[in-house]
Amino acid sequence: MTSLRQSMLAYGTQAMAFSLISSSFNFYYVKVFLDIYHIEEKWFQLAQVLFLVWNAINDPLFAYLQESTSNRFTRTRRESILYAAPLFALSYIVPWFSWGSNPVIVGIHLIFTLFFWDTMLTYVGLAASALFTEISQDPDHRLKLVRIGSIGCLFGACSVSILEYTSGSLSNFFGFQIGSICIGAASYLLFRYTGMNGHTQYDREKITSGQESNITHDKSIQNMSYLSLTWQIFKDRNFLSFVIMNFFQIFHTTFMANFMKVMGDELTVSLSINQSLPWIQSFFYGSSRFLPMILIISTTPMIGKVGYYTTIKVSFLWKIGAGILMYMMGRNYPILVLTYMALDSCFANAMFSLFNMPLSDIVDTDMQKHHRSHPISSLVYGNNALVTKPAISLSPMLTVTVLNRFGYQQLNKKLLTVPQVGSLHDTMFLLLCIQPVIIGALQLITWSFYTIRDKKASQVFPSEVENIINT
């Protein structure tokens, strides 16, 4: 018989699987296509534009599909993960094997990579997010799920460090390819465990009552159109406040994930002069993946007492203050620049891992407000993605455009003079410092309109929840 403990463990394994492949995919794909495959800017921008459009379509499409159909692939949250897991792992491996050196082929390779990756990321991600919301409505359990998910992500975040080690920071690309295959296979096995054991509270109730053969999530909304359901969701002030704030958060985290290595290698080039020091760069790049999880795990008691609303708000204040301070100190201290980038990425990703809690509260509020028999978790998460996912394309598009205007493409071809390189480095440093300040200020404003601030854990680790995890 399945249990809450088993469902929580299953949620943790999918979090680890997600972290294994998503952290290294986002960290490497831009650099691989720019520096290894030498993709032309026009193809890169075209791929990102098409990717942006697909991003805007597939989330609400798959969300409505998961909520309103009873096919084997959509019957339950766990089965959606189980059957999509092999394709998700394959979508991670596809970008690391070149299709050819022709500019057109490279461009098509990137377009296919982004479409395939995001299709599977969306489908599995929606099911996993809905699983978080529906494992339990108890805020104490959800806070524990955040912690379990962070532990899973902590183990999964090692993928960047593994690939840095096996590839010598991409100098041995064959080693990178072998490492990526191993990581993809490991993620599939973890997703499979979730697909076998990730039951929601509604599933467990039916299993307990002997109705296991009838397990499925409620399909009562199939008589309602997607537009009417979406309108109900978007009329909620809390939802609008959250998704606007989340758009800027994703823009920021995508920027750090895609360009931390690109900019870090350039701004700390003096470290590479002494061949005994390049490991420092790899350490900081890898730490940006596991530090957010350590931060969440260690501060869970504080989050339980203060509440996620205040915790997230404080992170915006830190983002503004740290950006201003780093800009004032300058870029002449390579170790300090690496530390700032690691911490900026750390706080941004740590707060992002809390975002399932406000979204779950929005789902619960929607369920009560509209007297639904079952939460429409996938639709809420899907419409959140409808607004926020374009940031995944806009961030690299805008950044690559700015960098190329200051000669980044010529830098790779060794065509820049020393003054031009200095100008490019100044631009990179400006982006690293000023962008978080602007984004943090906008987030402070939009987050102030969110009003669900009293649904937080009354007790961080109640004995019954602690027993569930420790048994």
User: Residue 385: inside a domain, yes or no?
Assistant: yes
User: Residue 64: inside a domain, yes or no?
Assistant: yes
How far is residue 28's CA from residue 37's CA, in Å, rounded to a whole number? 12
Mean pLDDT of 130-140: 85
Tokens of 447: 């987050």
What per-residue confidence (pLDDT) applies to 274? 46
Q: For a pLDDT cut of 70, what percent of the chain falls above it?
A: 85
Q: What is the CATH number of the domain that holds 443?
A: 1.20.1250.20
- pLDDT category, 456, cuts 50, 70, 90? very low
Kindly tell me if the per-residue pLDDT of 463 is higher than 50: no
Kindly tell me if the per-residue pLDDT of 215 is higher than 60: no
Tokens of 5: 């403990």
- pLDDT category, 258, cuts 50, 70, 90? confident
| pTM confidence score | 0.77
Q: Write the DSSP symbol of residue 157.
A: T
State the chain's maximal CA–CA distance in angstroms. Answer: 74
More confident residue, 164 or 3: 164
User: Residue 220: inside a domain, yes or no?
Assistant: no
- pLDDT category, 408, cuts 50, 70, 90? confident
Q: Which domain holds residue 297?
A: 4-203+226-470
**Single-letter amino acid, residue 378:** S
User: Residue 8: inside a domain, yes or no?
Assistant: yes
What is the total count of domains within the chain? 1
Tokens of 167: 């590839």
**Residue from 386, 364, 135 nearest 236 by CA:** 364
25 class by beta-carbon count within 10 Å (0-12 exposed, 13-18 middle, 19+ buried): buried
More confident residue, 281 or 181: 181
Kindly tell me if the per-residue pLDDT of 154 is higher than 50: yes
- pLDDT category, 361, cuts 50, 70, 90? very high
**Residue from 408, 91, 396, 427 nearest 253 by CA:** 396
How far is residue 440's CA from residue 239's CA, in Å, rounded to a whole number? 19
**Single-letter amino acid, residue 173:** F
Sign, CA torsion 228/232/235/239 = negative
**Single-letter amino acid, residue 285:** Y
User: Residue 457: inside a domain, yes or no?
Assistant: yes
- pLDDT category, 204, cuts 50, 70, 90? low
pLDDT in tens, 167-197: 888 889 999 999 999 999 999 999 999 998 8
More confident residue, 471 or 441: 441
User: Residue 216: inside a domain, yes or no?
Assistant: no
